[in-house]
Amino acid sequence: MSMAQGSSRRNGTRLGVGLLALTLTAACGGGGSLGGDEGGGEGGGEAGGTVTVGLVIPQAGVYTPLGEDMQQGWDLYLDQHDGQLGGYEVETVVADEGESPDTGVPAVQRLLTEGEVDALVGIVNSATALGVAEQVAEAQIPLIVANAGAEAVTKDAGNPYVWRTSFTNAQVAAAMGEHLAAEGVGPVYVMAPDYAAGQEVVAGFTEAYEAAGGTVAGQTLTPFGSTQDFQPFLSNVQSSGAEAVFVFYAGGEAVSFVQQYDAFGLKDSTPLYGSGFLTEGSVLDAQGESAVGVRTSLHYSTEIDNPANTEFVAAYQEAYGELPTTYAVQAYDAANVLDSALEGVEEVSGQAIAEALETVGEIDDSPRGPWTFNGQTPEQTMYLREVAEVDGTLRNTVVTDLGVFAQP
């Protein structure tokens, strides 16, 4: 470490200078970053008849399965419509959102500042959505969030360029809160991981549930991402005198929670309710028998009985050999919304698309049933779903619909 440092340092400086200068010159294309404050606002449009959409989805990290579903939903819509949206030929540029804003924000920044995209679709992580909300407005490129459920995306951080075709955390939970209060299931114990989404779900549920006259038996926020053993928490549930449990977990935590809830013997005495992500997508297969009978609320299920959904599920299964998920539907609907918006656009630009989104009105051919934008996020029907075995696979069967809910 200490040897030859003197001379190597001098050489080093020169080598360093050389290498850096090389990187710099290599990295510099034409352009200049001081002119024109509309950023990529005018990109792509003049090509005549094409629209470029940046699809920002997780391709690496824990959210990869969601990203795959979203890509498939997006591709399916385009395949069904000859690769066109609103009469414009679509060019999709895919970027990897990764796990966190550390990777997601630069990915979006790149699409925005290179000035090629007319609209952005995707974003799983709420923090990433919040981190780019202001930047898409500055670049005047509309962003259609196809998953991230933080309320602030379309409220505190909202602006005319940020739209959402998914849900809000509290919206999904509030539907279940009202339902459980109306059913009179008795005191409910509430559990969620201790991070922003978990906190929003707990708040949304508790508010709606108590407003409708329910009583909460207790509440626990478990450490996020590091809880593998839920037994200590489950024994609290047992001793609290709760008649039912409402939880929000997703991914690996959803699998271990549902299995341990069953193994602990609570499943038969205290019914388990949840936000739909508890049993959505690949986690359901992993949960297996333990999940049967779990009831959740969500804005989509493959078992919704309407013609648009029947057709969608069949087409999706044929194309990809698996059942669609809510993530696929959210991306599918994002394409659908862009399709409607672009129909009224004479010359493609981010600003024109954002304005056209205001006039989209009711989306009447969505697999989830008709819905409308309210505050730039869906006002939609929530379904009460119950896990059951259908044709040898576990599915979220629809018990009933819980009514139409807007962002709380």
Partner 1 sequence: MSVVPDSSTDASGVGADPRTGPAPGPSRAARLATRGIPLLVLLVLLASAPLFAAPFTANTLSRILIFALFAVSLDLLVGITGLPSLGHAAYFGVGAYTAGLVSIHWTSAAPVPVLLAAAVGALAAVATGWLAVRSGGVYFLMLTLAIGELVHQLAQSLSSVTGGSNGLFGIPSVRIGGEPLTLAGYVYWYVLAVAVLGFLGLWLVARSPFGATLRGIRDNEPRMRSLGYSPFRYKYLAFVVAGGFAGLAGGLFAALVRIVNPSDAGFTTSALILLAVVLGGAGTLWGPVLGAAVVVLVRDTFGPQLDGHGPLLLGVVFVVAVYVLPRGFAGLAGLVPGRRRSTGGTA
Closer of 50 and 64 to partner 1 (Cβ)? 64
39 is a contact residue toward partner 1 (CB under 8 A): yes
159 is a contact residue toward partner 1 (CB under 8 A): no
Closer of 107 and 353 to partner 1 (Cβ)? 107
Supply the minimum distance, in Å, between the C-beta of residue 346 and partner 1. 27
Binding mask 176-215 for partner 1 (x = CB under 8 A): ------------------xxxx-x----------------
Measured CA distances, 277 to 173, 223, 308 (Å): 11, 18, 22
Site for partner 1 in 55-84 (CB under 8 A): 58-61, 64, 67
Out of 46, 102, 285, 289, the residue judged to bind partner 1 by CB under 8 A: 102
Closer of 86 and 122 to partner 1 (Cβ)? 122
With contact defined as beta carbons under 8 Å apart, do 101 and 125 qualify? yes
Write the Ramachandran bin of 398: left for phi over 0, alpha for psi from -120 to 50, otherwise beta. beta
Read off φ and ψ for residue 81, nearest 5 degrees. -120, 35
Closer of 2 and 239 to partner 1 (Cβ)? 2
109 is a contact residue toward partner 1 (CB under 8 A): yes
Site for partner 1 in 209-238 (CB under 8 A): 224
Query: From CA 369, how far away is CA 300, in angstroms rounded?
Result: 8
Q: What is the dihedral of CA 251, 256, 257, 260, to 10 degrees?
A: 170
Closer of 10 and 311 to partner 1 (Cβ)? 10
94 is a contact residue toward partner 1 (CB under 8 A): yes
Out of 81, 84, 89, 152, the residue judged to bind partner 1 by CB under 8 A: 152
**Positive or negative torsion for Cα 331, 333, 339, 340:** negative
Burial class of residue 400, CB neighbours in 10 A (0-12, 13-18, 19+): exposed
Supply the minimum distance, in Å, between the C-beta of residue 138 and partner 1. 6
Amino acid at 291: A
Supply the minimum distance, in Å, between the C-beta of residue 250 and partner 1. 13
Supply the minimum distance, in Å, between the C-beta of residue 179 and partner 1. 27
10 Å Cβ neighbour count for 182?
Answer: 13
106 is a contact residue toward partner 1 (CB under 8 A): yes
11 is a contact residue toward partner 1 (CB under 8 A): yes
Supply the minimum distance, in Å, between the C-beta of residue 212 and partner 1. 27
Write down how long the chain is.
408
* Terminal-residue alpha carbon distance, the chain: 61
Query: From CA 331, how far away is CA 155, in angstroms rounded?
Result: 21
Kindly indicate which of the ranges 34-42, 254-262, 268-276, 393-401 contains the residues binding partner 1, using the contact rule CB under 8 A. Answer: 34-42
Kindly indicate which of the ranges 88-96, 160-168, 267-275, 327-335 contains the residues binding partner 1, using the contact rule CB under 8 A. Answer: 88-96
Out of 117, 136, 141, 150, the residue judged to bind partner 1 by CB under 8 A: 150
Measured CA distances, 65 to 62, 298, 331, 401 (Å): 8, 19, 14, 27
105 is a contact residue toward partner 1 (CB under 8 A): yes
Site for partner 1 in 245-274 (CB under 8 A): none
Query: From CA 19, how far away is CA 35, in angstroms rounded?
Result: 28
